Structure 1
């Protein structure tokens, strides 16, 4: 299968995507709700989910549930699972493993601006890019300047994020997954990156504020969102996905998305 066909499995016909990040088990202890959400994948797809980031173990454990959705394999993992800052990562899987489980892409982190991890994480990306050219498998670079968490003004500065995203493009990434800050200057990230950009899930905040953030990302030029805890820890994950689908694919505004979310919430109460 060609890389273009696999890209078209991740992105819908409009070139945009709502992606659920279900891969937290390999880099975080904060995994509440992931298993429960994974069992609901078919309902999330019905609500508008396009793809899911998963681990190798999930692909085996939830093979039946994940058969309903396009999957992207997380190929790296934290070197210290108990450190929430994700101090380092290593490559444990590769594109051959993704082919083995029927995934349509792979994802790994890179850390521009860090002393040692910049070089090692970028080398992981290049290794995957070389395999990608051979096997036609899209590579998503989750590019996080200065490390996994936001710890400084630079790590959440659109100028630095844009430079980091462009570096990953130059090293062979097909898709960039990175932070958006909520500022107008986020346009720099899009303008400096000649690849589709997926906005990271964003802050854990109240639902309407979160939808306003996603609206900003889409208006800035993002091609979609890759969302973890704002789906998996939502009291209404199906409604959240339906609202995100409206924001991403139908150019809905935050208020319209929130109305969709509330509709699903009311229906869930009635069914309960």
Structure 2
């Protein structure tokens, strides 16, 4: 199968995508909501979700539910599950494993500037090369200095852009990374030279502000979002998906997205 064919499954017809990250068990003990969210996956897809990122075990447990949903599988695993900073990663899955699972893409992290930089880059390179050999799309999650924003440098546009480009240089077909919310974020897109997805980020307390941020990311050139806890831990996951759909696939405003979110909340209650 050609790589372009698999890529086309990850994206909607408009070239954008809402990717639901359900891979938290690979790098965090804070996984509440993932299993519950999978139970409503068909409704989430109806409201805009285009693809999912999963771990091997999640894909195996929920193979029936995921059968008709475009799927990327996480190849790496935290080396310290109970350390929320994700101090390092190790390679777990091969591209061949992902193909046997019926995946449409494979994902790993890199940490430019971090203490574990060399190992994370080596993992990404090995996956990228094998992904090219097997025509499998590779998404590189490039996170300067580490998994979380812990310093001014780790959230600087210049550093994020350089990290995104490094992911491309390692062979990525797609980049998943941070955005700062500043207009200069367009430099991240420019540097990457391939489709970029905005990292979903920490759980949002202000939903309107979050939609405003997502709208900004799309306006500067992101091809969508890869979002986890802001759906899986939301009190209104269907409304979140529908709100994101309003912005990403319907070219709506943050105000319109928030109205859609609230309408789903009221209907659910």
TM range (shorter): over 0.9
| Separation (CA, whole Å) in 2 of partners of 1:75 and 1:231 | 22
Greater CA drift, 202-211 or 191-200: 202-211
| Separation (CA, whole Å) in 2 of partners of 1:133 and 1:64 | 28
| Separation (CA, whole Å) in 1 of partners of 2:149 and 2:19 | 22
Question: SS of 2:192's equivalent?
Answer: coil
Q: 1:143 aligns to what?
A: 142
Question: SS of 1:148's equivalent?
Answer: coil
| Separation (CA, whole Å) in 1 of partners of 2:6 and 2:13 | 12
Deviation per CA, 1:75-126: give whole Å up to 9, x if none.
10100000000000000101111111111000000000023x2111111111
- Give the superposition deviation at 1:68: 3.2
Q: 1:35 aligns to what?
A: 35
| Separation (CA, whole Å) in 1 of partners of 2:41 and 2:68 | 7
Q: 2:152 aligns to what?
A: 153
Q: 1:103 aligns to what?
A: 103
The reply to whether residue 265 of structure 1 matches residue 258 of structure 2 is: no
| Separation (CA, whole Å) in 2 of partners of 1:102 and 1:146 | 33
- Give the superposition deviation at 1:40: 1.1
Give runs of aligned pairs for residues 54-93 of structure 1, distance below 5 A.
Answer: 54-93=54-93
Question: SS of 1:192's equivalent?
Answer: helix
Q: 1:4 aligns to what?
A: 4
The reply to whether residue 251 of structure 1 matches residue 251 of structure 2 is: yes
| Separation (CA, whole Å) in 2 of partners of 1:66 and 1:9 | 14
| Separation (CA, whole Å) in 2 of partners of 1:23 and 1:260 | 27
Gaps of 5+ in 1: none
The reply to whether residue 191 of structure 1 matches residue 190 of structure 2 is: yes
- Give the superposition deviation at 1:191: 1.1
Q: State TM-score, norm by structure 2.
A: 0.98
Q: 1:218 aligns to what?
A: 218
Q: State TM-score, norm by structure 1.
A: 0.97
Give runs of aligned pairs for residues 170-185 of structure 1, distance below 5 A.
Answer: 170-185=169-184
Does structure 2 retain, via aligned residues, the 8 Å contact 1:39–1:62? no
| Separation (CA, whole Å) in 1 of partners of 2:2 and 2:201 | 32
Q: 2:16 aligns to what?
A: 16
- Give the superposition deviation at 1:200: 0.2
Gaps of 5+ in 2: none
Aligned length: 268
Deviant stretches of 4+, over 6 Å: none
Give runs of aligned pairs for residues 105-120 of structure 1, distance below 5 A.
Answer: 105-115=105-115, 117-120=116-119
| Separation (CA, whole Å) in 2 of partners of 1:22 and 1:64 | 15
- Give the superposition deviation at 1:205: 2.4
RMSD: 0.8
Does structure 2 retain, via aligned residues, the 8 Å contact 1:85–1:148? yes
Q: 1:167 aligns to what?
A: 166
Question: SS of 2:107's equivalent?
Answer: strand
| Separation (CA, whole Å) in 2 of partners of 1:23 and 1:257 | 26
Give runs of aligned pairs for residues 120-139 of structure 1, distance below 5 A.
Answer: 120-139=119-138
